[in-house]
Every structure is written in structure tokens, then in C-alpha cells.
């Protein structure tokens, strides 16, 4: 990519985009540039890609003209670009925190002085000099720490709209301008109104910057899922040409190339096996821990891991056409299309600002025409007081404070919530989709049943089975070996070990042949297992995998291995159902196992043998039906669906990719954490609504008084000091109410 020359595709990091409505403004501005063909902004990553024959500086200027910042992503590689984005987020957070410290460093001492130490009125020449110096310092702080607010307000004004920036600019600007009027021409104002409000300007800017910093911090890890997925890709591939093996960059692999993979290596591209046998760990696709046997003509996919034998395959999909690349793109698209939660404060501001402006003008005109002399002084005081008491300090804190406390409270319960939008949306979920393996179940196979036949003894037979399976890397084998070690069985070294694809394993021990596998293996060696068939079917219908063991020609035992259901899954699922949430289980496992597990945990709606795209499609289908969909999973295969869902919940014991794709991470690995997360979400939403009411109580009550409606009857004109105090009390109310969340406890379980 070139920064200064025209290019087909360019990417930029966007600064200052704080809400979803910013996306439309930025895309509209860029689409309006001559030569631009297509614009797509990813709000989650705060990046925008532009296709067209346009200089980067022209595009940057278009973004800056509407009040935002743009920085070209100079990196050639996607990984480097993401790192660059993370650095930009960190830098933006530091700027906001610096602005906060600068503003509150001035505002807090001034407010404390006014409340507890001295008078902020201007009555003497000495006071005028001191406060004039403070006024200039305040102006410098307003410009240095609040420039982005004033820029945003100006852009909203040009677009004939109003937002939070408009309120902030009006409140802080009016407070400062009025204070300077007091200093420059105190005789124009009644003595009761000769009061400065520099602390109000500084406090508003400082507190709002703090709220924005909280948001940037919470959103700072949205690109980690993409980073993790990119990390799954192999860097090189071993291509075979003319009988010679050569390691080349994976980007250079072409369709039809023959590629060799050895045990323990990643599959670099998608392909079809042309030589060799092996077992492949495809858990990244299926979510199932069992390796899949691969033989000639079987498909292999990029990112999966070759476990045992050496394979030679023909490349069928390379580059951006591989299955892994498609998963990466699905996560990107899902993040980009994630439904946004409109800021209620901004919606309110859109109505509140014009109303306040109208009321201020009406109040001013009323005092000019009907007020006592000097009428202009009373008019200026009334207008200014109305605008000060309508200042949005508490409004800007209402949501961020509750979100911050709510997220912190959830963290105490082992629930990590990525951002405030997820916290808000979780309270509206109507359908929750649950992955099976690792979410409802433990995700680790273990021995569940050992049934002996032909008068055999378990203490004698299980060591033989463990010795035989000790040479295998299959998860089922690992479960059996682990079971034997728990029972302190002695494991011996076998000879002539042979893995028969799709059937099981054989070996020799002490001159006897040992066989362990499915019924097909027993049939191949003419072993009579008729007495165990019914039992094996019963075990299979109970979501267990039955395996037969024979010594010589004698059938000895039936061993069942299963992925057990977590001890608290049934209770947790009932908690969710009691909340009125419809539950759906999705799994890459077979129909019989899926049915058995769903029945046991009390879920009626389930779908088996699904791939990652199927999970995404299921989420989309239910969203199109008007449902608010949550998705809970733990595997790489769940990542696209987690990102597509309105709220994605990842089991913390699962893969990093799933965790980073999700909006919420349940660190305990229990579905009770899911129910707790929804409870915290609902409590937080209630708290936010209370805060918004509290933020307006003082404003709504104070505005009529500030306008002077009580003056004709009682001679009461709201002192601007009271207006400033109301603003402070409004903020205190919001902060105190938000902190009540710290005492919230999810339902005991």
C-alpha cells in the first residue's frame, strides 16, 4: 500500500469515532470524494478500507473535515496492521487520560475552594486580576483537553444536528464566557450574579474525557480474535517437485502443488490426500477433540494439525480461498455487522439541546421585555443560568459509570465483559445458542464404563488395554491411559503396534495378540462379541463411545469413553430457561450423541453435525426472525458465530480465538456464569435508566427556576451558584447510584 500515491485499496485507522452513528458519517464523507469506488468501515476495529484511485492525503482530509482523525495503516501484513491499530488505541487512551488529568487538575481544586474555602464572586479589583489569570488558564485547558468536543459540536452544527458534543460545548463555553463577562464588565450584572464558573468548564471536560477513556479501554481488544486466527496459519509449506522436497512461503503455494506434512505439523493449505495415512486434529473446525482418520482421497484443511503419519496431498484451495481464511473473514464481517447499541444520551441530547436553547431564548426575551432594570443584565444572567444547569456532565457519566461498575462486578464473579454494548444487549437476549463440547460437556473424554466378559478380571485386563493404548495419540487412548494411571495399573511396553484406520489398534505383548477398537476390528479378526452388542448399543445411545478388547481369540471387555456433562450444566440450563430464554444446542457431533446429551440436560431444540458456517447461518436465521441471539461456545469453530451473535459468550477454559471473538468470557467454565452474566446485565440496564433519570432531575427542576418563573411570585431568581451546585449534585447522584451496583449479587447457585 502506498500512502501518498493512488492505490486500489487503502486502509486507515480512524480516531474519534465514539458511536455507531459515526460510521455512516465517515462512510458518507469518503464516498463523496471523487475517485472513491467503495468504502467499508469496521467499527469494532476502528478501521476503514477505501477502494479507488485517490491519494491517501485526500481521504484523510475528508475524514478530518467532519471532525475525526485518520491515520494510514502502512503495514503490508495484516498482523502488523492489527498491531498498529492496537498501538493507536493505546495512544488515544493515553491522550484521553492526559486530558482528564489536566482538566480535573484545575477543576477539582477550584470546586473545593468554592465549596469549602472561599467565595467565587468578583467584587474587588484584586479578585478580578486573580480570576482573570484563572480564566486564561481555564481557556488553555478547554482548548488543550476539550478541542475534540468543540470540533464535534461544530460539525454537528454544520450538519444541522445536535449530540453530546453540542451540549458539552454549550455548557462549558457558556460558563466560561459568562465568567469572563463578570470579570470584564461586572457593573452590567446584578451583584447577586457576579460569580465565576471556571470550575464548571474544567470539571465537565475532565469527567467526559474520563468516560471516553473507559470506553476506549473496554474496546481495546476487539482485534485479538483476528490476530489469534492469523496465528493458526502455517508460515511455510513443504512442496514436492520432481521428487525433491522444498520449504517455501505458504503464500507461494499454488493450486495442484503436492505438499508433504509430517507428524506434529500444521496443514498449510486445503487439499486432498494422495498418499499416506494419518489422524488429523480438526478441532478448529468441528469443535470435537477426536482426531479424524485420513486416507487417500480424503480432504485436509489449513490450520489443522497432523497427529501421526506422514501425508502427501494435492493443494485444492490456497491463499484467501482456504477454509481458515474463510473463518477469518467471517469473524471480520460479523464484527463489522454487529448490531450497535445507540447511545441513549445522544438520542436524548438530540431533543434536549433544541429545547434548552429555545427555553433560554424565551427566558432572555421575557426578562428583556418584562424584567426590572437593568433588564439586559437579568436577561444575560437568566440565559446563562439556564444553559449552565442544563450542562450534560451527569448525562455523559450516566451510562459509562454504570457500565464500568457493572463490568467490574461481573469480573468479581469470573465474568469478563468486553464492552458496554455487550452488557446492555445481554439483557435483551431471547434465544441462547449453546455449543455442546466444552460448553455443556467437559470437552475431555474419560472412561465411564468397564464391562468384563468371559469371566475376565478387570485388574488383569485394564493394564493390558492401557499398555496397548499407550502407543496411541488418540484422545480416547489418552483417556484410557489416564484412567489406568489413576487406578495405579502397571503399563508395559508392547511390540508390533499397528493402527488400523477407522477400526482400532493391535499389538503384541508377552507373545499374545491384543486387539482394541470397534466392532469392525473384532469382525476382521473373527472375534465373537455377540454377548456385548446389546450393551454397546445401550452405551452408544447414552452418548458414550463403546470399544471392544480381545486377547488372542478371546473377547474380554467392553470399555466406554465419553465426554461427560459438566456437573452443573443441568441446573444452569434450568436457570436460563426459567428466565424465559429459548435454548438451542449446536454440535459437530453425530445425531445420536447430540440427542442423548440434549435429552439429559433438558434442551428440546438441537442441531447435530454442524460446521462453522452452519452455526453462523443459524444465528443469522434467528436474528432475521427478530430474535436477540446469544451464542456460547469454546472452540475455534465457534468464533464466527460468537462474533455474529448479538452477544457472544466464550467459555474461559476454551480456545483463545473463541475468547477473543466473544463479547463475554466466562472464566469459571460453568454455564452458571452465563446466567450470572445475564443477571448483571439486567441490573446494570436498570441502573443506567435510574442514572439517566437522576441526571435530569436537577436539570428539569432547575431550568424553570433558572428561567425566572418564580420571580414574579416570590422574588426568587436562581443564583448561578445554585446552578453549579445542581450540576455537581447531579453528577454525585449518578456516581453514587452507579456504585450501588457493587452490592448486587447474582442468584445463588
pLDDT at 167: 65
Average pLDDT, the chain: 79
The answer to whether residues 648 and 663 touch, using CB atoms and an 8 Å cutoff, is yes
pLDDT at 557: 92
Q: List, as one string, the DSSP characters of 434-494.
A: EEIIIIIB-SS-EEEEEEE-TT--HHHHHHHHHHHHTT---HHHHHHHHHHHHTTPPP---
pLDDT at 314: 94
The answer to whether residues 404 and 738 touch, using CB atoms and an 8 Å cutoff, is yes
* Model pLDDT for residues 6-60, shown as the tens digit of each residue: 456 788 888 766 554 567 778 888 988 988 888 877 665 677 888 888 888 899 9
| Of residues 147 and 415, more confidently modeled | 147
Highest mean pLDDT among 101-105, 395-399, 444-448: 101-105
Cell of 407: 463490568
Q: Write b or e for each residue in 615-649: b if 16 or more Cβ atoms lie within 10 A of its Cβ, otherwise e.
A: bbebbbebbeeebbbbbbbbbbbbbbbbbbbbbbb
| Count of CA atoms in the C-beta half-sphere (13 A) of 509 | 23
Highest mean pLDDT among 487-501, 584-598, 689-703, 719-733: 487-501
pLDDT at 260: 93
Beta strands in 199-354 (DSSP E): 236-241, 244-249, 258-261, 270-275, 278-281, 292-294, 299-300, 305-306, 311-317
Cell of 607: 442441531
The answer to whether residues 223 and 82 touch, using CB atoms and an 8 Å cutoff, is yes
Range with lowest mean pLDDT among 186-200, 375-389, 601-615: 375-389
Q: What are the φ/ψ torsions at residue 510 (nearest 5 degrees)?
A: 55, 40
| Stretch (H or E) spanning 370 | helix 344-370
Q: Do you know the residue count of the chain?
A: 749
DSSP 297: T
* Model pLDDT for residues 228-272, shown as the tens digit of each residue: 667 777 888 999 988 888 889 888 899 999 999 998 888 999 999
With 80 as the cut, is the pLDDT of residue 313 above it?
A: yes
Cα 312 to Cα 230: distance, rounded to the nearest angstrom: 24
Q: List, as one string, the DSSP characters of 11-66.
A: EEEEES--STHHHHHHHHHHHTSTTEEEEEEETTTTEEEEEEB--HHHHHHHHHHT
Q: What is the CA radius of gyration of the chain?
A: 34
With 60 as the cut, is the pLDDT of residue 344 above it?
A: no
* Model pLDDT for residues 375-426, shown as the tens digit of each residue: 766 776 677 677 767 665 566 667 767 776 777 677 667 677 776 678 788 8
pLDDT at 5: 42
pLDDT at 338: 36
With 60 as the cut, is the pLDDT of residue 603 above it?
A: yes
pLDDT at 423: 78
Q: 412: closest CA among 630, 738, 680, 682?
A: 680
435 catalytic? Reply is yes
**Percent of the chain residues past pLDDT 90, beyond the cut:** 13
DSSP 189: S
* Model pLDDT for residues 704-736, shown as the tens digit of each residue: 877 777 777 777 666 554 555 566 567 667 777
| Stretch (H or E) spanning 632 | strand 629-633
Model confidence at 339, pLDDT cuts 50, 70, 90, reads: very low
CA 546 to chain centre: 40
Cα 315 to Cα 301: distance, rounded to the nearest angstrom: 10
* Model pLDDT for residues 452-483, shown as the tens digit of each residue: 998 888 888 899 989 888 877 666 788 888 88
With 90 as the cut, is the pLDDT of residue 583 above it?
A: yes
With 70 as the cut, is the pLDDT of residue 362 above it?
A: yes
With 80 as the cut, is the pLDDT of residue 551 above it?
A: yes
Beta strands in 486-610 (DSSP E): 495-500, 504-509, 512-517, 545-551, 554-562, 582-586, 605-607
With 70 as the cut, is the pLDDT of residue 654 above it?
A: no
Annotated catalytic residue: which of 281, 435, 542, 676?
A: 435
Model confidence at 550, pLDDT cuts 50, 70, 90, reads: very high
With 50 as the cut, is the pLDDT of residue 4 above it?
A: no
Cα 512 to Cα 553: distance, rounded to the nearest angstrom: 10
How far, CA to CA in Å, does 405 sit from each of 139, 412, 729, 737, 740?
32, 11, 20, 10, 9
pLDDT at 136: 94
With 80 as the cut, is the pLDDT of residue 118 above it?
A: no
Residue 507 three-state SS: strand
Model confidence at 348, pLDDT cuts 50, 70, 90, reads: low
Amino acid at each position: 500500500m502506498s500512502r501518498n500515491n493512488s492505490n486500489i485499496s487503502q486502509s486507515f485507522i480512524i480516531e474519534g469515532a465514539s458511536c455507531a452513528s459515526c460510521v455512516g458519517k465517515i462512510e458518507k464523507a469518503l464516498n463523496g470524494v471523487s475517485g472513491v469506488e467503495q468504502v467499508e468501515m469496521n467499527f469494532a476495529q476502528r478501521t476503514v478500507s477505501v477502494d479507488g484511485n485517490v491519494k491517501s492525503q485526500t481521504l484523510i482530509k475528508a475524514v478530518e473535515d467532519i471532525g475525526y482523525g485518520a491515520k494510514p495503516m502502512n503495514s503490508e501484513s495484516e498482523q502488523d496492521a492489527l498491531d498498529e491499530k492496537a498501538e493507536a488505541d493505546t495512544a488515544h487512551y493515553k491522550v484521553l487520560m492526559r486530558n482528564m488529568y489536566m482538566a480535573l487538575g484545575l477543576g477539582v481544586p477550584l470546586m473545593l475552594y468554592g465549596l469549602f474555602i472561599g467565595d467565587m464572586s468578583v467584587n474587588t479589583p484584586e479578585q478580578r486580576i486573580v480570576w482573570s489569570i484563572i480564566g486564561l488558564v481555564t481557556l488553555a485547558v478547554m482548548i488543550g483537553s476539550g478541542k475534540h468536543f468543540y470540533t464535534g459540536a461544530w460539525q454537528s452544527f454544520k450538519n444541522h444536528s445536535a449530540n453530546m458534543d453540542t451540549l458539552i460545548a454549550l455548557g462549558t463555553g457558556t460558563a466560561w464566557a459568562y465568567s469572563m463577562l463578570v470579570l470584564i464588565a461586572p457593573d452590567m450584572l446584578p451583584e447577586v450574579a457576579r460569580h465565576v464558573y471556571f470550575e464548571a468548564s474544567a470539571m465537565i471536560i475532565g469527567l467526559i474525557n474520563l468516560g471516553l477513556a473507559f470506553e476506549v479501554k473496554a474496546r481495546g481488544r476487539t482485534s485479538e480474535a483476528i490476530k489469534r486466527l492469523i496465528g493458526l496459519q502455517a508460515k511455510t509449506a513443504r512442496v514436492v517437485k520432481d521428487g525433491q522436497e522444498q520449504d517455501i512461503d505458504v503464500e507461494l503455494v499454488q493450486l495442484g502443488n503436492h505438499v508433504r506434512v509430517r507428524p506434529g505439523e500444521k496443514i498449510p493449505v486445503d487439499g486432498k490426500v494422495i498418499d499416506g495415512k494419518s489422524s488429523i486434529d480438526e478441532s478448529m473446525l468441528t469443535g470435537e477433540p477426536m482426531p479424524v482418520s485420513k486416507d487417500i482421497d480424503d480432504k485436509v484443511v489449513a490450520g489443522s494439525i497432523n497427529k501421526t503419519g506422514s501425508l502427501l496431498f494435492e493443494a485444492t484451495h490456497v491463499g484467501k480461498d482456504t477454509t481458515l481464511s474463510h473463518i477469518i473473514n467471517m469473524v471480520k464481517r460479523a464484527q463489522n455487522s454487529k448490531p450497535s447499541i445507540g447511545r441513549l444520551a445522544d438520542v436524548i441530547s438530540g431533543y434536549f439541546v433544541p429545547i434548552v436553547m429555545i427555553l433560554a431564548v424565551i427566558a432572555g426575551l421575557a426578562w428583556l421585555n418584562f424584567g426590572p432594570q437593568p433588564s439586559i443584565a437579568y436577561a444575560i444572567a437568566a440565559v446563562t443560568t439556564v444553559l449552565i444547569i442544563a450542562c450534560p456532565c451527569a448525562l455523559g457519566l450516566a451510562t459509562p459509570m454504570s457500565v464500568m461498575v457493572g463490568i467490574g462486578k461481573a469480573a468479581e464473579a469470573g465474568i469478563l465483559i468486553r464492552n458496554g454494548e455487550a452488557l446492555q444487549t445481554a439483557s435483551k437476549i431471547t434465544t441462547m445458542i449453546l455449543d455442546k463440547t466444552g460448553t455443556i460437556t467437559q470437552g475431555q473424554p474419560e472412561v465411564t464404563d468397564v464391562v468384563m466378559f468371559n469371566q475376565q478380571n478387570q485388574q488383569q485386563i485394564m493394564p493390558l488395554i492401557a499398555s496397548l493404548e499407550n502407543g496411541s495419540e488418540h484422545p480416547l487412548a489418552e483417556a484410557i491411559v489416564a484412567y489406568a494411571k489413576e487406578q495405579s495399573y502397571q503399563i508395559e511396553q508392547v511390540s508390533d503396534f499397528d493402527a488400523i484406520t477407522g477400526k482400532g489398534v493391535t499389538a503384541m505383548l508377552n507373545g499374545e495378540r491384543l486387539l482394541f477398537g470397534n466392532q469392525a476390528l473384532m469382525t476382521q479378526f473373527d472375534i465373537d462379541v455377540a454377548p456385548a452388542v446389546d450393551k454397546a448399543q445401550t452405551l452408544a445411545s447414552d452418548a458414550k463411545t463403546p470399544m471392544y478388547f480381545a486377547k488372542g481369540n478371546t473377547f474380554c471387555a467392553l470399555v466406554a469413553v465419553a465426554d461427560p456433562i459438566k456437573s452443573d450444566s443441568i441446573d444452569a440450563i434450568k436457570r436460563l430457561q426459567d428466565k424465559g430464554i429459548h435454548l438451542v444446542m449446536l454440535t459437530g457431533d453425530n445425531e445420536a450423541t447430540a440427542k442423548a446429551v440434549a435429552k439429559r440436560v433438558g434442551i428440546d431444540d438441537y442441531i447435530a453435525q454442524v460446521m462453522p458456517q452452519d452455526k453462523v447461518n443459524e444465528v443469522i436465521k434467528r436474528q432475521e426472525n427478530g430474535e436477540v441471539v446469544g451464542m456460547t461456545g469454546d472452540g475455534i469453530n465457534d468464533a464466527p458465530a460468537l462474533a455474529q451473535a448479538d452477544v457472544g459468550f466464550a467459555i474461559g477454559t476454551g480456545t483463545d480465538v473463541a475468547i477473543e471473538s466473544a463479547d463475554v468470557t466466562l472464566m469459571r467454565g460453568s454455564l452458571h456464569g452465563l446466567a450470572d452474566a445475564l443477571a448483571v446485565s439486567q441490573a446494570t440496564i436498570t441502573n443506567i435508566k435510574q442514572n439517566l433519570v437522576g441526571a435530569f432531575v436537577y436539570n428539569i427542576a432547575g431550568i424553570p427556576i433558572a428561567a425566572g418563573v418564580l420571580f414574579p411570585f416570590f422574588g426568587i431568581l436562581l443564583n448561578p451558584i445554585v446552578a453549579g451546585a445542581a450540576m455537581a449534585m447531579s453528577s454525585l447522584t449518578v456516581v453514587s447510584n452507579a456504585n450501588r451496583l457493587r452490592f448486587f449479587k447474582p442468584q445463588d447457585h
